[in-house]
Structure 1
C-alpha cells in the first residue's frame, strides 16, 4: 500500500517536469506583411484589401491562416489598423496556386476561390465576412474567380 502511494504521489510531479522539458510543436502562423514574400511556402502570397476594387489598406499573407483574428490591415490607406477578419472586400492571389477564402474560421462555411494570379475586385460569398483562407483546396460550391 505504501509503495502504491509513493508511486502515485511522485508520478504527478514527474509528469509535470517532463512536460516542461519536452518541447511542443506550436501552430504554424502566416507572416502578415506590407509586401509579398515570393519565397514563401506557396511561391507567392494572397493580398487582402479593406475596400472593393483592391483599394484602401491591405495585408499580404504567405501561408494558410485558419483564423484571421488578430491580423490587421498594414499598408497605408483607408482601413489601416482595422482587423482583417470580416473586413476584406477584395483580394489578389499573387501565387501560382489557387487560394480559397472562407466565411468561418477553420476553413468552413461559404467560400470564394481565386485561381492562380486571379483578382477579385469584390469578394462574392466572403465580402466583409472572411475568417480564414488556405491554398490548394477548394469545394464545388465555392465562387470561382
Structure 2
C-alpha cells in the first residue's frame, strides 16, 4: 500500500474513532454491568446493611444459590461495610432497579422456602424472616 493509501486508512480510522466517541458521549443508555459494585438501572442489588447501607452486590439475572463460602460464593463488591463477604445470609436490604421484573428473594437455595418480593423500582429492608437469611433470588418478568 502506498503512502496515499496509508493516509486514507489512517484518516478513515480517525474519523471512525471520532464518530464512536461522539456516539458514546450522547447519553445513550448502555447495558448495566453486573458484579461491578454499582447498582445500575436494570439490576437487582442486595445490600449488607439496612436502608441500602454498606457494601452491595449487583445482579442482572436469577441466581439459584449465592454459595456458602469463599472463594466460590457471590460477594459484596461495592464500597462499605461487608465488602468481600459472602452475600448468602448476610443481606439486610435490596433495591430492584429493573423496570420489567419483580424479583423474589428466597430463604433457601434453589428458590425454596420463605420469600420476599421486590417490585420494579422498589427498595426495602428485608423483613424479620429474611434479614440475614437469603440464599437465592429469581427474576420474574411481568
Does the CA-based 8 Å contact 1:68-1:105 persist in structure 2? yes
Runs of 4+ in 1 over 4 A off after TM superposition: none
Which residues of structure 2 form unaligned runs of 5+? 1-33, 68-72
User: Matched residues in 1 for 2:52 and 2:131: separation?
Assistant: 12
Deviations 1:50-97 (A, max 9, x none): 001110000110010000011010011011111100000000000011
Return the TM-score normalized by structure 2: 0.67
Indicate the RMSD between aligned Cα atoms, in angstroms.
1.8
User: Matched residues in 2 for 1:90 and 1:68: separation?
Assistant: 16
What's the CA shift for 1:36?
4.3
Does the CA-based 8 Å contact 1:100-1:113 persist in structure 2? yes
* Distance verdict in 2 for CA 1:101–1:53, change over 3 Å: same
Aligned length: 103
Who is 1:93 aligned against? 96
Return the TM-score normalized by structure 1: 0.66
**Which SS does the other structure have where 2:95 is aligned?**
strand
